[in-house]
């Protein structure tokens, strides 16, 4: 039998998923490896979905999504993100991951270079493998809360004439970095100078503890910014699989056309649930954000006492912790931690080359489990050093 596609066969798997699969074999493992909110989807959203199903929203929708849903999204973007889009510039997708992949697919031909942060969510690299786009990594500065090193990025762009797309993520996974206005302005300037598309992953826009979220599209009207959002993290709706992308009419039309070949459309009932989430009472978002802030403070205090805190995150719901005293490879450390201490964490190496000696702790779990898991982690580092 002929071989399967080399592209996918050789694609590096997400280390987060690898650890998830290992942890799932033991129900007693404390699950701190995945960014899946432990809160239930708020009741009013579930009720809206049930009503939508009863009202007949069980069919195909337009590739771009239900018009009334896109109208709600356009209103939200204008009020919260600070820029205007028409509903023909919006595409509702099956999660932000699909929005990101489809954006890169319509922007890049094989051989075009995609610029990714180091550290970054591993799915970005998987996406570039799918589209046969080489990757150049640009550094983040730990001393400045993991903000992009703009001077280094500029040098990389100067030396990479085939660069086509610059991917940014704020608030950031896994670092918790929140980009301030000068940083966002600097990124836009670089994108303009080197004629790059700027793909902005804003999945954690509502989970910020210090500072504020700045959507790059609010500072740039040239049409080169592609803004990707989701309801997954803000409303505890990861399984509903609804994301959305705002772009120029040209790019949005291409994403819509591509969506027919990939998923046809996002699920109708889930679209209506997302409309209820975004257009409804936002108290649930604030309550979850406050809970994550309390968990962050507890976790960073425990790690700081042991000298294992990398940095205190300003957004998202992750904390980076130091494993370098053990001298263990991140994957080896995380596997050993599951087997011997019953705790699952994400290995730093899955996020990039500078992840060595680090693990990511997810705050999206019950406080008691989180505290116990962090204490076991600290004890393991002590014992294995």
What residue spans define the domains of the chain?
Answer: 6-41+283-384, 45-279
pLDDT at 292: 98
Cα 38 off chain centre by: 17
Joined tokens for residue 380 = 């393991």
Give the pLDDT of residue 222: 74
Candidates 3.10.129.10, 3.90.1150.10, 3.30.1330.30, 3.40.50.10490; correct CATH number of 6-41+283-384? 3.90.1150.10
Please state, in angstroms and rounded to a whole number, the distance separating the CA atoms of residues 312 and 268. 39
pLDDT along the chain (385 residues), means of 10: 87 86 87 96 98 98 98 98 97 98 98 98 96 97 96 98 98 98 97 97 98 95 92 98 98 98 97 98 98 98 98 97 96 95 96 96 97 98 97
* CATH architecture of the domain with range 45-279: 3-Layer(aba) Sandwich (3.40)
Asked if the domains 6-41+283-384 and 45-279 are classified in one and the same CATH topology, the answer is no
The two tokens of residue 207 are 């989970």
β-partners of residue 115 are 136, 166
User: Looking at residue 184, what is its pLDDT?
Assistant: 98
State both tokens at 349.
Answer: 């190496």
Give the whole-angstrom CA distance, residue 213 versus residue 232.
17
* Per-residue 3-state assignment (H helix, E strand, C coil) for the chain: CCCCCHHHHCCCCCHHHHHHHHHCCCCCCEECCCCCCCCCCCHHHHHHHHHHHHCCCCCCCCCCCCHHHHHHHHHHHHHHHCCCCCHHHEEEECCHHHHHHHHHHHHCCCCCEEEEEECCCHHHHHHHHHCCCCEEEEEEEHHHCCEECHHHHHHHHHCCCCEEEEEEECCCCCCCCCCCHHHHHHHHHHHHHCCCEEEEECCCCCCECCCCCCCHHHCCCCCCEEEEEECCCCCCCHHHCCEEEECCHHHHHHHHHHHHHHCCCCCHHHHHHHHHHHHCCCHHHHHHHHHHHHHHHHHHHHHHHCCCECCCCCECCEEEEECHHHCCCHHHHHHHHHHHHCEECEEHHHHCHHHCCEEEEECCCCHHHHHHHHHHHHHHHHHHC
For 146, 173, 333, 336, 350, the CA distances from 178, given in Å and listed in that order, are: 8, 10, 28, 32, 21
Cα 250 from Cα 91, distance rounded (Å): 12
Q: Contact 246/77 with Cβ under 8 angstroms?
A: yes
Rg (CA), the chain: 20
pTM of the model: 0.96
């Amino acid at each position: 039998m002929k071989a399967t596609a080399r592209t996918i066969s050789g694609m590096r798997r997400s280390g987060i998923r690898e650890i998830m699969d290992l942890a799932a074999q033991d129900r007693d493992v404390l699950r701190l490896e995945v960014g899946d909110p432990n809160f239930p989807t708020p009741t009013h959203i579930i009720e809206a979905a049930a009503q939508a199903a009863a009202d007949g929203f069980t069919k195909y929708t337009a590739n771009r999504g239900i018009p009334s849903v896109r109208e709600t999204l356009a209103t939200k973007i204008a009020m919260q993100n600070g820029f205007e889009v028409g509903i023909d510039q919006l595409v509702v997708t099956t999660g932000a991951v699909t929005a990101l992949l489809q954006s890169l697919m319509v922007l890049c031909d094989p051989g075009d270079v995609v610029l990714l942060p180091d550290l970054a969510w591993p799915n970005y690299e998987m996406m570039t493998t799918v589209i046969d786009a080489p990757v150049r990594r640009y550094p983040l500065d730990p001393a400045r809360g993991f903000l992009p090193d703009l001077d280094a990025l500029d040098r990389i762009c100067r030396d990479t004439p085939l660069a086509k797309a610059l991917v940014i993520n704020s608030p950031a996974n896994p670092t918790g970095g929140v980009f301030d206005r000068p940083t966002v302005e600097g990124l836009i300037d670089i994108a303009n100078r080197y004629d790059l598309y700027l793909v902005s992953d804003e999945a954690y826009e509502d989970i910020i503890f210090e500072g504020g979220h700045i959507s790059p599209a609010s500072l740039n009207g040239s049409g080169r910014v592609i803004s990707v959002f989701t309801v997954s993290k803000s409303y505890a709706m990861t399984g509903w699989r609804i994301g959305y992308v705002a772009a120029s009419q040209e790019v949005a039309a291409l994403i819509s056309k591509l969506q027919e070949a990939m998923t046809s459309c996002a699920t109708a009932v889930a679209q209506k649930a997302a409309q209820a989430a975004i257009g409804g009472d936002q108290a649930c978002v604030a309550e979850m954000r406050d809970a994550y802030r309390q968990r962050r403070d507890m976790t960073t205090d425990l790690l700081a006492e042991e000298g294992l805190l990398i940095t205190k995150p300003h957004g998202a719901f992750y904390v980076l912790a130091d494993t370098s005293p053990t001298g263990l490879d991140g994957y080896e450390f995380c596997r050993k931690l599951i087997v011997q201490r019953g705790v699952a964490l994400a290995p730093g190496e899955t996020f990039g080359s500078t992840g060595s000696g680090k693990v990511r702790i997810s705050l999206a779990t019950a406080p008691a489990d989180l505290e116990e898991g962090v204490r076991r982690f600290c004890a393991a580092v002590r014992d294995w050093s």
